[in-house]
Amino acid sequence: MNLLFEIGTEELPAAYVSRALAHLERLAAERLAAARLGFKTIEAYATPRRLALVVRGLPEASARVEEERRGPPEKAAFKDGAPTPAATGFARKAGVDVADLTAKDGYVWARVVHEGEPTARILPELLTMLVRDLPAPKKMIWGAGDGPFVRPVRWLVARLDGEVLPVEVFNVSAGKTSRGHRFLAPGEVEVDAETYRDALYDAYVVADVAQRRERVVLETTTLALSEGYEAVLPEDLVEEVTHLVEWPVAVMGSFDDRYLELPDEVLATVMIQHQRFFPVRAGERLTNRFIGVSGHQPPDLSVVRAGYEQVLEGRIYDAYFFWTEDLKTPLAEHHKKLTGINFQRGLGTMADKAERVREAAQKLAGKLGLDEGVLREAAALFKADLPTQMVYEFPELEGVMARAYAEKQGLNPRVAQVLEDAVRPTGPDAPLPETPEGALLAALDRADTLVGFFHLGKKPSGSADPYGLRRAAAGLVRILGRTGWAQPLEDVLEVAAATYRARGLEVNPEAVQAARAFTEERLESLLTEAGLPTLAVRAAQKAPSVYGKMLRARLIYELMQRPEFVELTRLYKRAANLALQSESAGEPDPALFETEEEKALHAALQPTREAVEELLQRGSGLLPPWDPAAPLPETGLAPLEGPLAQILALAGALDPFMDNVLVMVDDAAVRENRLALLRGVRDALGELGALELLGA
């Protein structure tokens, strides 16, 4: 048997359609399984005006199930062979006679049989609750208190092998007819599970999301190519437009070419973010053309085109006005207006923040080998575009406009790029800074935020993060990981704290440590999401720099792939624990060796130290710095087999030492000498990380 179920609504929010489709399919599968109704396939469909399911291969009735249900203890159920109220109550609840109860394992049991019910009898209530229980961020009530549902429900279709099921939800009774396109085919359309897609397509509705998405891309791409251009197709915009229309029709429009003076990012933002239009480019630059996707196909598309051009003209004119007005003022003058923008109560204005970041950057620039002249010039204009009219109206263009205004005003192109880089990344998957000077400003900006807010005690709690500190920490470790700087994370945060202290705000060391721990947690999350085991990541946390942690986590992961490493970590943990009892830091003295095991372990220490050093040095070449938010880089680590094997070989000398040599002997000199050997093991392997976290 095949089921068609469609919920017809007023226009759904485009951002909700994909989630609704997933929820509907999941809930339907769960509810059918709970009702003991098997099925072959579920197909989900959605447009802005409907959500639908086609379920194929349903049985005529639910499955017959037998189960044994445990009741009270036998002693409580029967007394002198007669049933007690406990037994009769259990039998009544289970729906069986007391005489049918059996005893086993000290309890009474009931054999309960659930006979199958006709599918046509089960589905009406199941489908009714499916509509009522469909999750949504916000639901509404309409009419005479109908709902709640994400949008008013206007029709329902529920057909099982052609027969209409008696489903009623929100005062709407299910029938056998759907609705066609609101304008192109506004009448009713009879549908069932077999004809659903084709019947709606004939009524100018593309119900299949994948098919509609493909049509959006094809229509847009073909139209651009027909004019000799290329359409820009951002994935998010394609997804949104797919859920805005039922019958995609691409329409190309144009705007005054004087607006091409605007940076491409501004044009793209206006078209994509504010009008849901696809930009059109010729080569590397955008043209004065755009493509809108209409959900209607009137006889004369020029009417649609004129409407699109009119609404875009107003918005793009505003951007052009902001551009020309902002350019009348040098960036340095815009920068002075930061004094009028608050950063956070207790942490000063954006001007204060920009000055703190500038001072911190000057302290670290020399240590990192950066171009101090470029950095000095860029830091003096850091966040200068924040007070501009363009960024006020389009805040997503922060940084982009700093670069554009700097270029237009004749500043050094590298300085201009640093100004854009200084705000990157703008999101979890957004691009990272391209210049090291921009990376430093961006990192210190986030360090300043973290240290300041932790000083104020405004750390995130649970899922609440009103100040975006998780985003700041993730951005910081992404930047530091990608640059590969050896500067310890704690030093970066401490430099930021020092700039606060220089202005009389005594940021205590506890706030810096809390910010460091919080940031390292974000790094751990990013690396585990990228595919590294949690234990490998935690074992590598002792490395001071972010890239050092990333490199060691990857190398430990490589060691974990080898079976011998399990035994080595077990032995290492024992050795490291014993080494804690050492009272000195000297090297072992071969003259005090009394056993062959001591000599063998001592002989293995130096090759192990060299292997660890080689592993880290060559590993940094084979695994250059990467973005911790990205998947693990695919690179051949075969050249590391030699040092990896040498490290694993240490177990061959350590195992007999741990089994046959008594370390804690009475002779203090011999005892300390043997502990020195174990310290050597701990220190050699400890360069990789806290391997004791991996041991059994």
For residue 7, pLDDT beyond 90: yes
Calculate mean pLDDT across residues 67-86.
Answer: 88
Calculate mean pLDDT across residues 415-427.
Answer: 97
Residue 540 lies in a domain: no
Closest CA to 190 of 175, 172, 210, 205: 175
Residue 332 lies in a domain: no
Token readout for 510 is 């506890």
Q: Which helix (H) or strand (E) holds 154?
A: strand 153-160
Same-domain pairing of 82 and 29: no
pTM: 0.84
Contacts of residue 78, Cβ cutoff 8 Å, sequence gap at least 6: 84, 87, 108
Residue 537 lies in a domain: no
Calculate mean pLDDT across residues 595-609.
Answer: 95
Predicted local confidence at residue 505, as pLDDT: 93
For residue 182, pLDDT beyond 70: yes
Same-domain pairing of 316 and 463: no
For residue 695, pLDDT beyond 80: no
Q: Which of 327, 359, 391 is the last residue of a domain?
A: 327
d(CA 4, CA 24): 13
Q: Which helix (H) or strand (E) holds 6?
A: strand 3-9
Q: Which of 327, 357, 381 is the last residue of a domain?
A: 327
Tens of pLDDT along 135-158? 999 999 998 889 999 999 999 999
How many domains is the chain built from? 5
Same-domain pairing of 195 and 215: no
Predicted local confidence at residue 676, as pLDDT: 94
Calculate mean pLDDT across residues 328-353.
Answer: 96
| Separation in Å, CA 641 to CA 119, 561, 614, 648, 687 | 62, 12, 11, 10, 18
Q: Which helix (H) or strand (E) holds 618?
A: helix 596-622
Same-domain pairing of 580 and 525: no
Q: What are the DSSP calls for 540-556, one per residue?
A: TTTSSSHHHHHHHHHHH
Predicted local confidence at residue 111, as pLDDT: 86
Residue 579 near residue 571 (C-beta atoms within 8 A): no
Same-domain pairing of 316 and 365: no
Q: What are the DSSP calls for 73-141, one per residue?
A: EHHHHEETTEEPHHHHHHHHHHTS-GGG-EEETTEEEEEEEE---BHHHHHHHHHHHHHHH---SS-EE
Closest CA to 494 of 481, 508, 476: 508
Same-domain pairing of 380 and 476: yes
Same-domain pairing of 421 and 377: yes
Q: Which amino acid is at 376?
A: R
For residue 611, pLDDT beyond 60: yes
Same-domain pairing of 454 and 597: no
**Alpha-carbon dihedral sign for residues 573, 578, 584, 586:** negative
List, as own/partner pairs, every contact residues 418-423 make where C-beta atoms lie below 8 angstroms and the sequence separation is at least 24, other chains included.
418/374, 418/375, 418/378, 419/378, 419/381, 419/382, 419/384, 419/385, 422/378, 422/382, 422/383, 423/383, 423/398, 423/399
Same-domain pairing of 497 and 611: no
For residue 461, pLDDT beyond 70: yes
Tens of pLDDT along 157-169? 999 998 999 999 9
Same-domain pairing of 557 and 643: yes
Residue 334 lies in a domain: no
| pLDDT grade for 93, boundaries at 50, 70 and 90 | confident
Predicted local confidence at residue 39, as pLDDT: 95
Same-domain pairing of 477 and 571: no
Structural domain including 261 reads 210-327
Residue 106 lies in a domain: yes
Residue 541 lies in a domain: no
